[in-house]
Amino acid sequence: MSQKNARPLSPHITVYRPQITSVMSILHRITGCGLALSLVFFVWFIIALAMGESSYNLFIYCSTTLLGKLVVFMIVFALFYHMFNGIRHLVWDTGYGYNIQNVKKSGIIVAILAVVATIITSVMIAV
Amino acid sequence: MKDFKTYAKKVRGLGSAKAGVHHWIQQKFTAVTNIAVVLWLVTLMVQFSDFDYGAMLAYMQSPVNSIFAILFSVSVFYHAKLGLQVVIEDYVPSHSTRTITLLLMNAFVFAAMFVVLFAILKVAL
């Protein structure tokens, strides 16, 4: 706390049971940070392509190792989760879907869409 | 002398900094443009396994893909900068550390963006 006089704090997140609303909210932020970090791979890809064949082949070699594939899989999931949940946020911005049943419903829809899109894309990348 | 005033009490009445709405609108605008450019990148990733160096070079040299790559870089890197800014503002409590972190983050994101733009043009032209 940057405040000089420590004043009493209200109960913080640790006292609450995780709910779909809170978990999806923090996941949006975590995937966002992860995606920002994963831009390093886009930078690497485009620089390697600009530098020539040997550096491009090194990029391909690294991204097709088991670790590379795992990282790509995680990036793809984060991408779709952040995208679908972002669309959910955009819908909220128009003023719709604010009551708690709809928030839970749209949360479940986003989770399903993210998983399905990740599986389809991963299979298409692998094949 | 103990100061029991909250930060909110101290700044109330001073008026807004007039930057929050601008940030919010930029974040929402880039969120929408991100959908288009990210789908372009996903189609690239799906085709990736079929591409050797020559095929990828030819693919990225076509004007449509070069332009999408440029739009991707501007939209996504700027959206990332806006998001990281909020995260840093939320979680770094010390004012001086926060300012330095924000400056470094901006420097990294914009440097990366311009490096990528240069590389795209080098591939395309």
- Entry field: residues in chain A: 127
pLDDT confidence of B13, banded at 50, 70, 90?
Answer: confident
Q: Given this model, what pLDDT does residue A4 score?
A: 62
- CB under 8 Å to B65, separation ≥6 — which residues? B40, B44, B59
Q: Using an 8 Å Cβ cutoff, are B33 and B82 in contact? A: no
Instruction: Return mean pLDDT, chain B.
Output: 90
pLDDT above 80 (res A10): no
pLDDT above 60 (res B40): yes
Which residue type, as a one-letter code, is found at position B63? P
Q: Given this model, what pLDDT does residue B101 score?
A: 95
Threshold 0.90, pTM exceeds: no
Which one of B7, B46, B56 has the shortest CB-CB distance to A56? B56
Instruction: Return mean pLDDT, chain A.
Output: 90
Instruction: Please report the residues numbered 32 through 91 in chain B whose beta carbons come closer than 8 angstroms to any beta carbon of chain A.
Output: 32, 34-35, 38, 41-42, 45-46, 48-49, 53, 56-57, 60, 69, 72-73, 76-77, 80, 83-84, 87
What's B59's DSSP letter? H
Which residue type, as a one-letter code, is found at position B29? F
Mean per-residue pLDDT, B19-39: 92
| Of the listed ranges A99-108, B43-52, B64-73, the one predicted with least confidence | B43-52
Please name the residue that has the structure tokens 């994963």: A38
